[in-house]
Amino acid sequence: MNHMNKEREHRELCMQRDKEFLALYHPTLDALIEQGTPLCKARRAAAEFTIANGHPHYHVNYERAYRCVTRLLSADEKKSCNARDYKKDEIDLVETRLRIQMWNEITNRVRILRQQGMSIERAINHVLEHCRASRFFITPTTALTKICPQSRNRAIR
Residue 139: closest CA among 94, 92, 89, 100: 94
Residue 124: closest CA among 53, 55, 73: 73
pTM, two decimal places: 0.80
All structural domains of the chain with their residue ranges: 1-57+134-157, 61-131
- For 117, the 3-state DSSP assignment is coil
- For residue range 38-82, list pLDDT tens digits in order: 998 999 999 999 999 999 999 999 999 999 999 988 876 655 444
Exposure of 138 in the CB half-sphere (CA atoms within 13 A): 25
At 94 the pLDDT is 61
Residue 95 has pLDDT above 90, yes or no: no
Contact of 131 with 93, CB cutoff 8 Å: no
Kindly state the helix (H) or strand (E) to which residue 64 belongs, with its residue range.
Answer: helix 62-79
